[in-house]
Amino acid sequence: MVEKLASISVPGPTPIPLTQEFWTSAKNGVLVTQICGDCGQHVFYPRGRCPFCWSGDLEWAPVSGKGRLKSYSQVWKPGNKSWIPATPYIVGLVELDEGPKMLTTVLCADLPEVGDRLTFVPFNIGGRVLPCFHAFTEEEAQAMGAMEKDGWQGVINGKPKIGDTVERVRTTKLEDIHAFTEMTGDRNPVHYDEELAKKTPFGKLIVQGGVTTGMLNACVAEDLPGPGTVFLNTNLNFLKAVGVGEKITARVEVETVRDDKPICGLKVLISDSQGDACVEGEATTYTMALKGL
Ligand SMILES: [Zn+2]
């Protein structure tokens, strides 16, 4: 039954302004209910007034996504015939740990029992991600594809959080230029001919851009997201040249994190000791699972 839900074609929900937040959050993997700003009670279904104290101060807030099966029906004859290929399926009344009750599709291998612990899962029904609950252990759910896979399993530093930041500081050296030339063959005179370099807009010998941006490699591979990380993409603007003997700071900040794959979007910045941005831009990284290899 769980496998068939993805391939059926059924009418979807009709979000209205009052309920839009619930559907959008559920699709993004977060179960929300309204919470009353006056009495603190969680409220579901969505409405304009708190049913406990009649306050109009209701805001959306995430809940744990854990609950208990209060009652259920096994559906053999659906009201809408497009559900027939997925029969028999389970519709249950779930009592959330926060209090409210939700009518929901329950994903399970065998018939559940009243009182079973259930977990929220955004699940593909008819090509549309809808809020459901499952009665599986995490391992069973992943094996059945009932849950989005945790793409960060086995990653040494674990899953980063949005806003996580790391910095590395280093002073450039003349040897950096030689080492980079050895690696790449880049023997641009602005890196070697001091007299000539003084007459350029830089006014000094500068290190190759790769010497500077290499600091970003160190940040992502050593610290954040950490060992096993490679760049999938970088988009960098070179704003100010870096000379020899200059202290530079590389900074990486996590802007986006995928759940299903170990992929991050990063904001990156390299600045000099005057605080000027030398390189800034964005990067996308992939972090391989190295634990247990
Ligand atoms: Zn209230």
How far apart are the C-alpha atoms of 35 and 43, rounded to whole Å?
A: 6
Give residue 10's pLDDT.
87
Non-local (6+) Cβ contacts of 104 within 8 A are 91, 92, 94, 131, 132, 133
Q: pTM for the full model?
A: 0.53
Cα–Cα distances in angstroms (integers) from residue 186 to residues 176, 179, 243, in the given order: 12, 10, 16
How far away, in angstroms, is 255 Cα from ligand 1 center?
Answer: 35
Give the closest residue to 283 by CA, choosing from 223, 213, 234.
Answer: 234
Other Cβ atoms less than 10 A from the Cβ of 7: the count is: 12
84-99 pLDDT, tens digit per residue, is 999 999 999 999 999 9
Report the pLDDT value the prediction gives residue 123, as an integer from 0 to 100: 87
Distance 260 CA to ligand 1 centre (A): 37
Strand-pairing partners, residue 73, are 91
Report CA(149)–ligand 1 centroid distance (Å). Answer: 37
Work out the average pLDDT over 163-167. Answer: 96
Residue 65 tokens, joined: 């996504």
In angstroms, what is the span from residue 183 Cα to ligand 1's centroid? 67
Instruction: State in Å: Cα 35 to ligand 1 middle.
Output: 8
Beta-carbon contacts of residue 211 (< 8 Å; ≥ 6 apart): 172, 176, 177, 180, 242
* N residues, the chain: 293
241-263: per-residue pLDDT in tens? 999 999 999 999 999 998 888 99
Residue type, 248: I
For the chain, the average pLDDT equals 91
Non-local CB neighbours of 9 within 8 Å, separated by 6+ positions: 82, 126, 127
- What residues contact residue 252 under an 8 Å CB cut-off, 6+ apart? 165, 166, 167, 216, 219, 220, 223, 224, 266, 267, 268, 283
Give all domains of the chain, ordered by start, each with its CATH number: 2-144 (no CATH), 165-287 (3.10.129.10)
Q: Which pLDDT score is estimated for 138?
A: 67
Can you give the pLDDT at residue 91? 95
Question: For residue 146, is pLDDT > 60?
Answer: no
Residue with tokens 């007299």: 195
Task: Give the H or E element holding residue 183.
Answer: helix 174-184
Largest CA distance in the chain: 87
Q: Which of 226, 213, 211, 97 is nearest to 158 (CA)?
A: 226
29 CA distance to ligand 1 middle (Å): 26
pLDDT tens, residue by residue, 191-250: 999 899 899 998 899 999 999 999 999 999 999 999 999 999 999 999 999 999 999 999
Query: What separation in Å is there between the alpha carbon of 114 and the centre of ligand 1?
Result: 29
* Ligand 1 centre distance from Cα of residue 39 (Å): 4
DSSP 281: E
